[in-house]
Chains A and B, each alone.
Chain A
Amino acid sequence: MINYIFKRILYAIPILIGVNLLTFTLFFVVNSPDEVARLHLGNKRVTQEQIQSWNEQRGYNFPLFFNQSETGLNVIKKTIFYEKSVKLFYFDFGISDSGRDIKYDIKQRMWPSLAIALPSLLVGLMINITFALFFVFFRATKVDYIGVIFCVALMSISSLFYIIGGQYLISKLLQLVPISGYAQGVDAIKFLILPVFISVIYGIGSGTRWYRSLFLEEIEKDYVKTAKSKGLSEVSVLFNHVFKNALIPILTGVVVILPLLFLGSLIVESFFGIPGLGSYTIDAIQSQDFAIVRAMVFLGTILYIFGLILTDISYTLVDPRVRLK
């Protein structure tokens, strides 16, 4: 098992290198740092001199791959590629184009993201599975048919509408929760209710349908038919056999996205003014802070790969028949 995990981690390295090269090409070969500098120095009275020293401070003045003017290792080290890309591998994200330390900001901002994403995931999971079981119980009846149509309808609404509508109704008309904002500690609850609620509602359509199809797949299997023929009640078959066995794909599906929860939700966070990584990314995109976007791409990739490894491990834990090689 440990061997396997080790292998998986080794396998992740070339992928990370690939991602790194890709982002490097996107951000430096295409876009010259001069333009970035001008953007961040503001718009009143900017001189070429200032741009140069801005670039110097952030290490954007180096050549891309080889620095001919240096000697020894510095030929490679004093380059944009080394400074901006290789350093990511030991989690040195550097400073953002607006001058803040990125690692510090990421550490601060991942918790609010998690505070929204985790409850949304758990509550959503519960509700979706309940609905799915309900529809499966009534499969091939009107209830199921209407339910599926209802799910499709819910799925067809853009997430933006859920957010705009929810905020308008619950915060503005009913004045039940603050419209936006965030606080540390227990105070955060009142700010989290609405975004979590909206995320859950948004997920119902696709989630319920997905779990429903998982259960239906399971219900067709022979052992279920056997159990039924033994005269077990439908409810107990559903819970004891179908649900239990479908847990494996459900669990692994959840595990794979667990690490990504840290990244947060882009639009929910920015609508509700929650200082998480999602709104951090949006801000970076909108202010064209390439350093942050680059760091987030790398971080996102790492978390994704980490999720995959976790999934494999959880397979073995849940289902002892699976052996990792």
Chain B
Amino acid sequence: MLHIFKKEFNGFLDSLIGVAVVVVFLIAIGLLTWVFPETSVLDYGFADMETLFTLGPFVLIFLVPAITMRSFAEERKLGTLEWLLTKPVSEGSIVFGKFLAAVCLVIIALIPTITYYFTLSYLGDPPGNIDTSAVIGSYTGMVLLGAVFCSIGIFASTLVTNQVVSFMLAAFLCFFFYAGFDSAAALTNDGATALLIKQLGIQYHFESMSRGLIDSRDLVYFAGVMGIMMLSAKTVLSSRSW
């Protein structure tokens, strides 16, 4: 599993995909947080990191599929997947290795934004007036959300041989899991059903974590979605039905 992880991660760095993803993420988030007046913290006047945590997921919806779209689609197209599967490694460890490499890249993209925390903490009045526990909760949520997107992207990549289709499928699924359920909940007038539908989506759990409370139910939800996605990816690989 570690060899797959290492190979994938080196692949990201060699092919500039990794650099591109980190740079694009930081530029997009930087512009949204500090420059564009509509979302800028400086214009908003409150020392919090709302912008990063409400718009960050939408940036990730596009970036994570760009990371994962190659993972299996390209291997299958080149025939290297067949080669990999004739080696003594299990399908599960191939999926998990690739997943881990993608998650690591997402985390690396997130790390530089921690400087925003210190900047905002300094800008607060009095300095240091920032909701630290909410920030910690939000970061945990962002990492978990990125990981769920990675698992969705990897699953989408096992389904097709074309990278572009893989990208679109993954972006759609990520969007649907993030915001789709929330919007779908508005279709019903029944409060209990609406809540149930909302709870199926990522946004509900992400927002709950953003308040600074790391609830085991949310963790179970994230772990569950990742597990289902990776298990599905493994099943697709095992079936060899392409």
Q: Indicate whether A and B interact.
A: no
Residues of A that sit less than 8 Å from B by CB:
none
